[in-house]
Amino acid sequence: MSPVKRLSTPPKQPPSKSTAAGRAPVTLRDIASVVGVSPSAVSMALADHPRIGRATKDAVRTAARELGYVANSAGRALRAGRATAVAVVVPNTAQHVFGHPYFMHLLVGVTSSANAHDSGLLVSTNPDQSHEVAAYDRILRSQTAAGAIIASAASNDANVSRMVDTGLPVVLVGRYPHLPQAVSVGVDDHAGAAAVTRHLVADHGLRRIGHISGPLEHQTALDRYEGFRAALAECAEPCAHTLAIGDFSEEAGRAGAAQLLDGMSDLQAIFAANDEMAYGALLELRSRGLRVPQDIALVGYDDFGVSRLTSPALTTVRVPAEQLGLHAADRLFDLIDGVAGEVTHTELPTELVVRESCGEHPAPTAAPTVTGTTAATG
């Protein structure tokens, strides 16, 4: 068509360079014929096998680099009996219950670990619950992934225990008390919720507090609720508390706030189990003409980046989702490599992030309060 080609790039197809960008993938055989040895020798040289001579290894590695050799993952996986990629499984139920930001942060963490391990990352969500055989089920059984990280919602999700039972390396994100043998990584929601509750009680002297929880069949929601109650119980003076059950959505936060306000007179503070419900609560408070924090204090949980955008900026508990993903992936690679380890459940610390939604904090706290233990044996 055009009389002049790109430049420097000669006619692509035919005699071709030996560099990289060409069409046909480079195989061991290509390297073998360049170096003048057998494909087996090339394989062994690249694996640094002791029975291959120094000179041959050098020649092979040079040729591999020049040809731009990348091992065909299918061939390798077939021979090895397992793939190199790992999968992240997000059941659709989880997608709805948690928000998108959580998974994105998680993914970023998992990705960086996968990159460090030279490993691909498969992402699978369940298309619809009517499907008897879930998408991830197929992925795992087709040996596409060497292991899986599962971020599930319901603590009694049958799919989770089924997955754990397959014997495939699996790391769960979250806390699974009824699957004590499973490897899992989570945060100490109990401690985080207790910390933010204590902030309300101890730092601000509030005594009449309502909690908007998530669905209590979800471990996360339950832990946050129980952390809330535990913190109140340890309080010297009596504290009045009340509960509204939501589903982590903004709308549920709005409804929950309405329920709390109607149910308890002179409510002084609301602790929403996640930031999104806190926003909903904020809207409800505002529509009733209540000012935050002057008339009522408000705190959330998660801190996935938007909490600082509201007015007032929301005091909340930071969940280190990215670290969570990183850790989960690291644990998974350990499992895949057969590094057992005693620890089944790892807990990452949460951090209380004080902003404006409780008012000026009278007690000048030094460092940010970090809560949470690090490990538990199973």
**Which stretches of the chain bind DNA, using CB under 7 A?**
25, 27-29, 36-41, 43-44, 46-47, 51-56, 69, 71-72, 74-76, 78-81
Taking CB within 5 to 8 Å according to partner kind, which of DNA, a copy of itself, none is near residue 51? DNA
Of the pair 27, 242, the CB lying nearest a copy of itself is at: 27
The CB-of-279 to a copy of itself minimum distance in angstroms stands at: 5
Q: Are 66 and 30 in contact (CB under 8 A)?
A: no
Give which of 53, 87, 85, 54 is closest to 163, Cα–Cα. 87
Taking CB within 5 to 8 Å according to partner kind, which of a copy of itself, DNA, none is near residue 111? a copy of itself
The CB-of-73 to DNA minimum distance in angstroms stands at: 8
Taking CB within 5 to 8 Å according to partner kind, which of DNA, a copy of itself, none is near residue 248? none
The CB-of-334 to a copy of itself minimum distance in angstroms stands at: 20
Taking CB within 5 to 8 Å according to partner kind, which of a copy of itself, DNA, none is near residue 364? none
The CB-of-125 to DNA minimum distance in angstroms stands at: 24
3-class secondary-structure state, position 10: coil
Strands across the sheet containing 240-245: 240-245, 208-213, 269-272, 297-299
Q: What type of residue is 202?
A: A
| CA distances for 168 relative to 13, 86, 143, 162, angstroms | 44, 11, 10, 10
CA distance 325 to 323: 5
Give which of 39, 44, 35 is closest to 66, Cα–Cα. 35
Of the pair 35, 297, the CB lying nearest DNA is at: 35
Taking CB within 5 to 8 Å according to partner kind, which of DNA, a copy of itself, none is near residue 40? DNA
Of the pair 109, 174, the CB lying nearest a copy of itself is at: 109
Taking CB within 5 to 8 Å according to partner kind, which of a copy of itself, DNA, none is near residue 127? a copy of itself
Give which of 290, 251, 294, 287 is closest to 272, Cα–Cα. 251
The CB-of-78 to a copy of itself minimum distance in angstroms stands at: 4
Take residue 84 and report the two structure tokens written for it. 């190199």
Taking CB within 5 to 8 Å according to partner kind, which of DNA, a copy of itself, none is near residue 54? DNA
CA distance 191 to 350: 8
Of the pair 108, 370, the CB lying nearest a copy of itself is at: 108
Of the pair 117, 207, the CB lying nearest a copy of itself is at: 117
Of the pair 135, 313, the CB lying nearest DNA is at: 135
Interacting residue ranges for a copy of itself, rule: CB under 8 A: 21, 23, 25, 68, 70-75, 77-78, 83, 85, 95, 100-101, 103-105, 107-108, 111-112, 115-116, 118, 120-125, 127, 135, 138-139, 141-144, 162, 165-167, 250, 279, 286, 305-306, 309-311
Of the pair 28, 97, the CB lying nearest DNA is at: 28
Of the pair 57, 254, the CB lying nearest a copy of itself is at: 254
Take residue 1 and report the two structure tokens written for it. 């068509």
CA distance 18 to 95: 47
Of the pair 232, 324, the CB lying nearest a copy of itself is at: 324
Taking CB within 5 to 8 Å according to partner kind, which of a copy of itself, DNA, none is near residue 39? DNA
The CB-of-118 to a copy of itself minimum distance in angstroms stands at: 8
Torsion of CA 326, 328, 331, 332, to 10 degrees: -110
DSSP string over 277-294: HHHHHHHHHHHTT--TTT
**Cβ count within 10 A of residue 194:** 24
Distance of CA 157 to the CA centre of its chain: 18
Give which of 124, 128, 152, 145 is closest to 136, Cα–Cα. 124
| CA distances for 55 relative to 58, 62, 86, 106, angstroms | 5, 11, 36, 45
Taking CB within 5 to 8 Å according to partner kind, which of DNA, a copy of itself, none is near residue 178? none
Q: Are 186 and 175 in contact (CB under 8 A)?
A: yes
